[in-house]
Amino acid sequence: MSEEKKTTRRQIAAAKTLKKFMADYFYEMDDAAKTGSQKIAWCTSVGPAELLRGMGFLVYYPENHGAMLGATRMSTDLIPYANALGYSPDICSYLTCDVGSYLQKKTPLTMAYNIESVPRPDVLVFNTNQCRDVQDWFAWYSRELNVPLVGVHTHRDIGNIRNYQIKDIASQIEDLVPKLEEVTGKKFDLARFKEALGYSRRTSELWGACLEEAAAIPSPWTFFDATIHMAPAVVSRGTKEANDYYELLLPELQQRVKDDFAAVEGEKHRLYWEGMPIWGKLRSLSEQFYSLKTCVVASTYCNSWIFDQLDPDEPFESMAVAYTELFIVRDELYKEQYITDCYNKFKFDGILFHDAKTCPNNSNNRYGMPERLSEKLGIPVLTINGDLCDLRCYSEEQAKTNIEAFIEQLEEK
């Protein structure tokens, strides 16, 4: 194991379609931004996308752009430009690298698609269910670009969900309608909204089914694969195209299971990844786990885009339920039970917590959860320190030694 072996693994065939899917997604927006053919909304990753799609917006996700900046390792160089404006290195590195990207006029879209810049927004729409940082992030663009900013303010640390919480969120979403009508200049079309909601529900079902295939032993794919293939569920939920993509991916994964195909050849260990991906290190981590015959089979992160509560017959209420039942806004007890349920389903041998320096909301190791879950489930846990985009917060050698030692520990059992 002295060095991770360069591996030639069987690629997921749908990846080719995914590549075209993402290119089309960005070209369509680039064209709309240039010609004004369609309004563009910027939306937070678990913001009210269905409403925006239903009102005819093309939807762009700055968090997706942040992940691209991280994956291309452009982020670490761009973050300091936002820091110099007064945005602390301790806050969301999606925010800081994205603002840095704007200031420096550099985007990974240029390299990938020959697109000069991200599409200019007509409106900025947030939901603070991810964190408060998204609101501040969008507020910066609102001031910079003189674009209207609207949003939903979430409840947090929720145990049992109460009616008043659902009513509140539903009414906040409904209150967005007249503000968005002002941007589109068109009357809200309930039927179209319901249609988008139906598509999104179907996307969630398909995406959830894809993730559940990893319950098979051996697993047909890994967390690292899923972080790539989740893109349509994130950026195109509420469209038929997203569903078409997962209608293609799901049978391929099912066939892999039928064929007993192991994404990690000779799978010996199975892990759960809790927390954000380390975007700039996906490949090297994936290769290290592969060389250790360890498959990361499931994660809170990839599961976070399953909104199967959506119901076209109760559009605002079901959206409120979907965006309030989210893991990220729940209390510790709920989160522990959620991971316990995942443990029962995916049968992993250990949990890896990623303590992301700039993402406290997605770092669940900080209040004793690893220790409590280790005791409850009788499996070991490991915390590695890093970040989603700021690689200055990640010591690769330390992290890799920790992972290697963790697998040694599993082998001693």
Query: Could you list the residues that contact another protein (CB under 8 A)?
Result: 1-3, 374, 380-381, 383, 385, 393, 395, 397-398, 401-402, 404-405, 408-409, 412-413
Q: Are 10 and 89 in contact (CB under 8 A)?
A: no
Q: Which is nearer to another protein, 50 or 390 (CB)?
A: 390
Nearer to another protein, 51 or 295 (CB): 295
Contact 275, 357 (CB under 8 A): no
Nearer to another protein among residue 176 and residue 381 (C-beta): 381
CB of 352 to another protein, least distance (A): 13
Q: Which is nearer to another protein, 17 or 374 (CB)?
A: 374
- Cβ 405 to another protein, closest distance in Å? 4
| Least gap, CB of 402 to another protein (angstroms) | 6
Which residue's CB is nearer to another protein, number 340 or number 398? 398
Q: Smallest distance, Å, CB 168 to another protein?
A: 39
Complex with another protein: residue 114 or 398, whichever CB lies closer: 398
**What are the strands, taking DSSP E only, across 66-131?**
123-127
Going from the C-alpha of 245 to that of each of 160, 225, 251, 324, the distances in angstroms are 35, 15, 11, 27
DSSP bridge partners of 356: 386
Is 336 or 404 the residue whose CB approaches another protein more closely? Answer: 404
What's the N-to-C CA distance of the chain in angstroms? 20
CB 252 within 8 A of CB 226: no
Closest C-alpha to 327, from 347, 368, 299: 299
**Cβ-proximal residues to 152 (8 Å cutoff; 6+ apart), any chain:** 47, 48, 126, 127, 128, 129, 169, 172, 173, 176, 323
Q: How many CB atoms lie within 10 A of CB 88?
A: 10
Contact criterion met (CB below 8 Å) for 339 and 300 = yes
Give the pair of three-digit tokens for residue 412.
């001693």
Q: How far is the CB of 385 from another protein (least distance, A)?
A: 5
* Phi, psi (degrees; rounded to nearest 5) at 29: -70, -40
Q: Minimal distance in Å, beta carbon 276 to another protein? A: 17
Is the Cβ of residue 271 or residue 381 nearer to another protein in the bound state? 381
Secondary structure of residue 42 in the 3-state scheme: strand
293 vs 347, beta carbon nearer another protein: 293
Say if residues 330 and 359 touch (Cβ distance below 8 Å): no
CA distance 54 to 399: 44
